[in-house]
Structure 1
Amino acid sequence: MEFEIWQLVLLFGVALAAGFVDAVAGGGGLICIPALLAVGVPPHAALATNKLQGSFGTLSASINFIKKGYIKFSDIYIGIIFTLIGAVLGTVIVLLVKAEFLNYIMPVLLLGIFLYTLFSPAMGEKDKDAKMSKNAFYIIFGLLLGFYDGFFGPGTGSLWVFAFLALLGLNMRQAVANTKVMNFTSNIVSLAVFLVGGHILWMVGLVMAAGQIIGGYLGANLVITKDTKYIKWIFLTVVGATILKLFIS
């Protein structure tokens, strides 16, 4: 496919905005995929190209969080391993089973997360006692959410953030930082599958990747510098928009 300069500039800007939003609260794919479809990219190529450019955004945000000391690999390496395993399983099974039924389950699940977070005023403002052990958490949710991201995808970042807040008792800043590493892990698995399939539009993907790198870095900086209450309201806004998008589609 050939694209005009204005289309590439538009997609760069969309990716920058999506990388920023995704670094703060997840949901970047819900911005990028409609934009790719709007400029005439076929659905399968849009999904593949989105994984390419999105991987750069989660990597950029992850590196920023690592440099600022918010990621402790000694705490999360089990989560990385089991997220990788779950994503591989989900990606393999999606080739065999249709995932359309998740279109009906996901909005309801996210609505529950939205309401629970909204009506828990202190949630995410400071660290709290964990409701389960770290190892059990990372094994269970690494497999579940890694599988989900490989199988379906939308809302994965929001699910991770909520799980970190509700079950490990992390503050919002730390929850978002850890989420980016888990997102990057499962994104890489899906990207590998799309690479084999040959559906990626490389020029478009790399132009958008440049936007994602900038947006992901800026979004991570916002999380690092702003008060956790501010981050929480951005998170609720993104989850609410995701719910509307899933219900409408």
Structure 2
Amino acid sequence: MSLELLLLGSVAFFAGAVDAVVGGGGLIQIPVLLGHFPQVPIPPLFGTNKLSSIAGTGASLWQYARTVRIPWFVVLPAALAALAGAWLGAAVVAWLPREAMRPLVMVLMLAVAIYTFRRKELGHVPTRELRPSDRWRAAAFGAAIGFYDGFFGPGTGSFLIFGFVRLFGMDFLRASASAKLVNVATNLSAIAFFASHGPLLWGIGLTMAVCNLAGAQVGTRLAVRHGSGFVRKAFLAVVTVLIGKLGWEII
């Protein structure tokens, strides 16, 4: 194995482990892909990142589903709506300035971090029973998050987890498990869109996918073993890193 593949595989493994717990794998993989392939256009690189990510996300979903009770009647509508929303978001990239999103996303992330820090009990245990009417709220939520992921992307996993905790009263562990199905849907949509707009780096992407999958196995086991308290701390850590990254890019 070349040194390049070894490095990319290691990055994908770490990204898969982090993403399995709280999302944010793209924050790790995308900068490395951009640095290693400066001459490759953005769409193929973003599609390659999604190709790697979906392997780990899918494996993580499978493992979560075996140990965590996922409320499918809420999560499935969110995932289907996110599938359509992500395609629409990717399609409007050409007409809207993506850079204008950075300050808004940073403000939203700050609000999420402050709210979570202050509410020490948030997400430790479920706060209410889910209702049949929640499936429509979940569909609206999934469509909005899917559109954001297709259009801009950073922090999608964190927004999903926070939304499932705050809007539907889930604990952090169940919210993380539920977020994985929505992430699989948005990744599928993004891969289809980017593959139709240029060739992906299939060899690199598939190699990273195997490593991402292995990392996801490790991350999911850590989350299940240590529970919602561990996921909450990891969530806050990833959100803090994302705030710093967005702030640096704005400056």
What percentage of aligned pairs have identical amino acids? 35
Q: Is the 8 A contact 1:149 1:156 kept in 2?
A: yes
Partner residue, 1:180: 180
Matches within 5 A, 1:23-62: 23-41=20-38, 42-44=40-42, 45-62=44-61
Partner residue, 1:15: 12
Cα gap change, 1:117 to 1:7, in 2 (>3 Å): same
Partner residue, 1:107: 106
Counterpart Cα distance in 2 of 1:182 and 1:144: 12
Which amino acid in the other structure matches residue 53 of structure 2?
A: G
Q: TM-score w.r.t. structure 2 length?
A: 0.92
Counterpart Cα distance in 2 of 1:227 and 1:196: 40
Displacement after TM superposition at 1:199 (Å): 3.5
Which amino acid in the other structure matches residue 6 of structure 1?
A: L
Calculate the aligned-residue CA RMSD, in Å: 1.7
Cα gap change, 1:199 to 1:103, in 2 (>3 Å): farther
Gapped regions of structure 1 (runs ≥ 5): none
Does 188-197 or 74-83 show the bigger shift? 74-83
Counterpart Cα distance in 1 of 2:127 and 2:70: 18
Q: Is the 8 A contact 2:79 2:139 kept in 1?
A: no
Matches within 5 A, 1:143-182: 143-182=143-182
Counterpart Cα distance in 2 of 1:118 and 1:43: 39
Counterpart Cα distance in 1 of 2:53 and 2:170: 25
Displacement after TM superposition at 1:222 (Å): 1.3
Aligned length: 246
Does 153-162 or 220-229 show the bigger shift? 220-229
Q: Is the 8 A contact 2:86 2:147 kept in 1?
A: yes
Does 6-15 or 36-45 show the bigger shift? 36-45
Counterpart Cα distance in 1 of 2:208 and 2:218: 15
Gapped regions of structure 2 (runs ≥ 5): none
